[in-house]
Amino acid sequence: MSATAPPDDARATAGLRLPSAARLGIDRTGIELRAFVRERDAVIFIFTYPLIMMVIFATVFSGQDQSADGYGVPFAQYFLPGMVATGIMLTSFQSLATSIAVERDDGTLKRLRATPLPAVSYFYGKIGLILLTTIVQTSLLLVLAATVYDVPMPADVSSWATFAWVFVLGTTTGTICGVAFSSLPRSGKSATAVVTPVVLVLQFISGVFFAFFALPSWMQTVASVFPLKWMAQGMRSVFLPHDAQVLEVAGTWQHGATAAVLGAWLVVGLVVGIRTFRWRRRDDG
Amino acid sequence: MDTTRRETRSVIDVRGLRKRYGTKQAVDGLDLRVDQGEIFAVLGPNGAGKTTTVEILEGFRDRDSGEVTVLGQDPASGGRAWRSRLGVVLQDSRDQVELTVRELVRHFAGFYPAGRDPEEVIDAVGLREKESTRARHLSGGQRRRLDVALGIVGRPELLFLDEPTTGFDPQARRSFWELVRSLREDGTTILLTTHYLDEAAFLADRVAVVRDGRVVALDTPDALGGPQARRPVVRWTGPDGTTHAERTTHPERLVAELTANGALDGEAPGLQVEHPSLEDVYLELIGTAAPTTASTTATTTAPEGSTQGRSTEEVAR
């Protein structure tokens, strides 16, 4: 404190550089992680929800197949891709839509806005946190399915390549839509109440809890507008045998359509997010 | 003010600032100049336009019209380099509660090109014993000290303090004031908004009173309001037991006159010369003068037994 501030021109001539946005993004990831692991209930929810669902459904329907027209796959094997997709949506879309709404409400965003922290570094931090949590959560789920429920893991490179792009595109789209959606709740307190029903309804109509082919066709049509259905379908193309395509409504995995719908939501989320993102609460002008 | 201040650079320069929300003209042609190295207090009732003005200066809000320069730049287009020279301590804070004092101070220090040493900052705000405590578990005063730590860790040239001591106990306020003074000694210019007149009187080099979106008075805390508003009040009890009060620029002369004409005897019971406090002056400036001030201006050296004298007596009882 004893040192006096260098005058302006001294700062300029000393060539003091602002820290890079990338380095600050890494700092932000670190601080986001610390804050995240200390919110014990959130950690428990994020990591155990897909596992508990997997255990419940795989146990209740153990020994049964999801089958139609004489072709079937074991229940756990059909359920796993839907749960992987749901997990991605939880860690990206739901957690971000809620946490940004809370941070807007409690003043975190306004405080950061008052510093030279670049906006992109804030989002780098969010993306870093989401990537890490999603990877951990998906890994736990795959290990559980493979070891306890004997779900076969794909052995070929092309399946894992499909997994990689669906995972990355799904996480990115979920993240960006989460940022856009965070402007909707009026307060931090209402954030969970606003976000959860959306997520829950999508899980029911997108072929996560029930086999997608068994749903009424109007419900299938509605679900086809939203990303979760396509993420689940994309993950089924990874974890189900090639022949299981006959269980899909279209009779194929529709990778092109999956990429197109997820990509479209990514663009829509980006446009809406950029237009609606606010650093301050609504009642704060 | 004195000539040395005139020669120094202005850190904040505002001319004809206007901002309207719907039908409410929140800021209505406000002018302000804050010089380098001073503590400048902005006083005013709620809704006077203080917060709107400060948030425009901080770059949080757009303005409708007027010229605004903060550290040589227009806040509306201030980039990262400009922000790195500012410190902002916002009004209420309940954010980032899971992180500890040290984590937050270190993290924020990393945002700036020439920040202070986080450890020095923790010592300066007196949070050494709480360095490993999460923000959630800090008391109100400690939380405010953390806010200041985060505001000054970037070594700002200009620090905004928005109602920094609301909810403090007297001891915490006093030590907070010492901290703010030490920042000025380090060369930081400080813009302070506050509801507490004693805070402004203790800290500020100059005070601006804002009312209806305009600056209605601007001076040092001792001189605010001008000589008229600063006239002392002389109170005394006459030989018949009635109390009197009179406002005058020359209290000694009045007392001498009263003694000479027998209105006061040697004992002079209840003789008081009261100088208006900053609070009295402020209340008069914002148009809600304190009742005592109102009655004293109305009362003059009333003749004995007059109704006015009696009513004053009744009030006194």
Tell me which residue of A27, A84, A97, A28 sits closest to A54, measured CA to CA.
A84
Q: Is the pLDDT higher at B28 or at B307? A: B28
Q: Do B94 and A106 touch (CB under 8 A)?
A: yes
What pLDDT is stored for residue B293 in this prediction?
40
Phi, psi at B193, each rounded to 5°: -110, 140
What pLDDT is stored for residue B300 in this prediction?
41
Q: Are residues B17 and B49 in contact, defined by beta-carbon separation less than 8 angstroms? A: no
Chain A nearest C-alpha distance from B74 (Å):
15
What is the per-residue pLDDT across B144-160, written as a single tens digit (0 to 9) for each? 889 999 999 999 999 99
Q: Are residues A16 and A116 in contact, defined by beta-carbon separation less than 8 angstroms? A: no
Measured on CA atoms in the order B1, B2, B6, B10, is the torsion positive or negative? negative
Q: CB distance from B21 to chain A under 8 Å?
A: yes
Q: CB distance from B94 to chain A under 8 Å?
A: yes
Decide if pLDDT at B316 tops 60. no
Which CATH number describes the domain made up of B3-225?
A: 3.40.50.300
Tell me which residue of B94, B102, B92, B89 sits closest to B136, measured CA to CA.
B94
Q: CB distance from B83 to chain A under 8 Å?
A: yes
What is the per-residue pLDDT across A207-264, written as a single tens digit (0 to 9) for each? 898 889 989 999 999 999 999 999 999 999 999 999 899 898 888 999 999 999 999 9
Q: What is the dihedral of CA B251, B256, B262, B268, to 10 degrees?
A: 60
Phi, psi at B301, each rounded to 5°: -65, 90
What pLDDT is stored for residue B7 in this prediction?
58
Question: Can you tell me the mean pLDDT for B284-296?
Answer: 56
DSSP H or E run through A166: helix A157-181
Q: CB distance from B317 to chain A under 8 Å?
A: no
What is the per-residue pLDDT across B216-248, written as a single tens digit (0 to 9) for each? 889 888 888 777 777 888 888 877 778 888 888
What is the rounded distance in angstroms from the CA atom of residue A240 to the CA atom of residue A257? 18
Question: Can you tell me the mean pLDDT for B250-275?
Answer: 77
Of A4-13, B46-55, B57-66, B244-253, where does mean pLDDT reach its minimum? A4-13
Q: Are residues A38 and B134 in contact, defined by beta-carbon separation less than 8 angstroms? A: yes
What is the rounded distance in angstroms from the CA atom of residue B303 to the CA atom of residue B280? 28
Query: Which member of B94, B98, B108 has the closest CB to residue A107?
Result: B94
Parts of chain B belonging to CATH 3.40.50.300: 3-225
Q: Are residues B197 and A16 in contact, defined by beta-carbon separation less than 8 angstroms? A: no
Q: CB distance from B110 to chain A under 8 Å?
A: yes
Q: Which two tokens stand for residue B264?
A: 């006061």
What is the per-residue pLDDT across A92-128, written as a single tens digit (0 to 9) for each? 999 999 999 999 999 999 999 999 999 999 999 999 9
Query: Which member of A2, A16, A31 has the closest CB to residue B107?
Result: A31
Q: Is B140 exposed, middle or buried (0-12, 13-18, 19+ CB in 10 A)?
A: middle
Q: Which two tokens stand for residue B96?
A: 């980032």
